[in-house]
Amino acid sequence: MSKITTLYRRRLSKERGTVKKDWGGKISVALIYPNYYQVGMSNLGFQVVHGILNDNPAIISERVFLPEEEELSIYRKTGQLLLSLESQRPLPTFDLLAFSLSFENDYPNILTILDLGRIPLMGRERGEDYPLIIAGGITTFMNPEPLANFIDCFLLGEGEVILKEFFQIYLDLRLSAVKREEALRVLAERVEGVYCPSLYNVAYHENGSIASFEPSIPSIPSKVKAVKQVPFKGPLHRSRILTPNTEFSDTILVELNRGCSIGCRFCAAGHVYRPPRVIAEEEILTSLKEIVTRDTRVGLISPSASNFPWIERVTSYILDSGGDFTVSSLRADSLTKGLVENLRGSSQKTLTIAPETGSDRLRRVINKQLTTQQIIEAIILIARTGFFHLKLYFMIGLPTETGGDIRAIAGLVKSIRHHLIKESKGRKRIGRIRVSINCFVPKPSTPFQWFPMDTVNSLKEKQRLLKRALSGEGGIGISFDVPKWAYIQSLLSMGDRRVGQMLLTAHRNNGDWRQTFRSSDINPDFFVYRAKGLNDRLPWDFIDHGIQKSFLQKEYSLALAAEESPRCAPDSCTRCGVCSLVT
């Protein structure tokens, strides 16, 4: 037995809910999360897709992760092919390799994984004997183009909808022994949401912008619809495999809702997941009755748990059943005394709030719909109710940002600390504040897709200013994004398929991006620092989210005027165009 096999079996022995199926006559799928096991198993979307695949009797899905340092050393030392977790089979033995992609910064790991499996990196170099490489996840239906040279087929949209139809067609093709190129054509023609980049041609203007993007075959769509489950159907989405080796150790993750009604202009999830959808109250309580027993810990996943309409009843039910819960980020303006009291009864002692900016003006620019007064009132409520630590998320480098906006971040943090101390008077302990300063990265299909990223040097100077302003404050810790990695993320977020060559070169340079950029024929600043025209053809314009471009352009103009717009109201509003298409 190899060291890798021993290590994987030890990992499996700590899991509860692991699925092992017989391989006989089934479509075999290696479901790959291009990061470490601990990160992948903390991702609810990855777990949901794994469950959907294995619920199909015609499919066997096994998990694959980026090897950690010890594993990677063994693989490279022995030359052993990368193995799946469940049965320890090599990647080339699977019919399909399916990447689940949530973050652009994981893209380099895709090439590492293919290399470890001895799978040719470029799609055009893979013959009939190699697995079909597919990919899905939120980054793919924002902008798949930087990966176009490496992925055979993208599944754009939500897995509950697209996976069933995709595999129905794929099974027919497999039984008919159809060749790879023909299979891609049929999938692109017959499955809504399937995008096969090799079937599309791109031309460029002399200035580097996109001149045309057209299918090479008339029978495939020029615009690919990102499919969605509207309304929600089927069982509550929850993690099925529990392990102590995750960020949420032995915690059942449960999805409360998808999308967000606020409409923050920087937020991709608030746009590509439109319309926002909420799990019905009775449905979630019925599911919790099956899930929650004494000592069960539930992670409630939501863009903002305090915005979930029946969050107090749900959290009360979990506590009354002898269980425990944790929530993700909270919105200051929707925090209630009942929810904070329930949080006090849970094991969660750190509450996360995202003011995003220090000034009301810049919050209007991003359409956060949150005031400094509302933030302070939430802090007072929290401090009066019980002992909590706070985690605060801010962004720097936002459009129209000034030096005053940066200084306002420090001022707001100090004010929050002041009120925390004041309202905690008489207590032996006062909660600490952890401030996370992140760099703004423009995202496709948002009103901010036309803005450039702030320069790395400017971001570093803003970080230094904040560090100086907060370094002498007791009880406050501060952490920063690394601007050079935010630059890479922006490149991979906003780039077209020419960025794929940079990604390949960086892989061959062992991750040395500086050397990669020096040797590139295209200046990466073109994708990161260039302000785009409102009528430019963008790399992701071929994806149809149902959102009218005119809506995004109007939101862009409102941002420049520091004006807010109404929240998304699916029952009464058709402003963005999505709900006018929903039947």
What number of other Cβ atoms are within 10 A of residue 176's Cβ?
10
Residue 583 has pLDDT above 60, yes or no: no
Q: What is the pLDDT of residues 475-498, one digit of tens each?
A: 999 999 999 999 999 999 999 999
The torsion angle over the Cα atoms of residues 191, 193, 196 and 197, rounded to 10 degrees, is: 160
Query: What is the H or E stretch that residue 324 is in?
Result: strand 324-327
Q: Distance between CA 75 and CA 304 in Å, rounded?
A: 41
Q: How much is the pLDDT for 414?
A: 97
Exposure string of 484-521, with b = 16+ CB inside 10 Å and e = fewer, is: eebbbbbbbbbbbbbbbebbbbbbeeeeebeebbeebe
Between CA 442 and CA 451, with CA 447 as vertex, the angle to 5 degrees is 45
Q: How much is the pLDDT for 293?
A: 85
What number of other Cβ atoms are within 10 A of residue 125's Cβ?
10
Using DSSP, state whether 63 is helix, strand or coil: strand
Q: What is the pLDDT of residues 502-532, one digit of tens each?
A: 999 999 999 999 999 999 999 999 999 999 9
Average pLDDT estimate for 167-190: 94
Residue count of the chain: 583
Residue 539 has pLDDT above 50, yes or no: yes
Contact predicate 219/212, CB 8 Å: no
Q: What is the pLDDT of residues 459-478, one digit of tens each?
A: 999 999 999 999 989 999 99
Residue 126 has pLDDT above 70, yes or no: yes
- Select from 154, 151, 156 the least CA-distant residue to 141: 156
- Select from 262, 263, 264, 324 the least CA-distant residue to 293: 324
Percent above pLDDT 70 for the chain = 99
Name which of 224-233, 260-269, 393-402 the model is least confident about.
224-233
Residue 34 has pLDDT above 60, yes or no: yes
End-to-end CA distance of the chain: 55
Average pLDDT estimate for 364-376: 98
Using DSSP, state whether 325 is helix, strand or coil: strand
Half-sphere exposure of 484 (CA within 13 A, CB side): 5
Domain residue ranges in the chain: 3-225, 252-494+546-560
Q: Distance between CA 364 and CA 555 in Å, rounded?
A: 11
Contact predicate 343/390, CB 8 Å: no
Q: Distance between CA 360 and CA 365 in Å, rounded?
A: 9
Residue position matching structure tokens 């004010």: 415
Nearest-Å Rg of the Cα atoms of the chain is 24
Q: How much is the pLDDT for 116?
A: 98
pTM for the predicted model, two decimal places: 0.96
Written as one letter, the residue type at 123 is G
| Averaged pLDDT score across all residues of the chain | 95
Average pLDDT estimate for 266-287: 93
Residue position matching structure tokens 């096999």: 5
Taking domain 252-494+546-560, whether its CATH number is 3.80.30.20 is answered by yes
Could you tell me how far CA 482 lies from the centroid of its own chain? Answer: 19
Contact predicate 386/340, CB 8 Å: yes
Asked if residue 452 has a cis previous peptide bond (ω within 30° of 0), the answer is no
- Select from 216, 173, 213 the least CA-distant residue to 191: 173
Q: Distance between CA 421 and CA 433 in Å, rounded?
A: 11
Residue 286 has pLDDT above 80, yes or no: yes
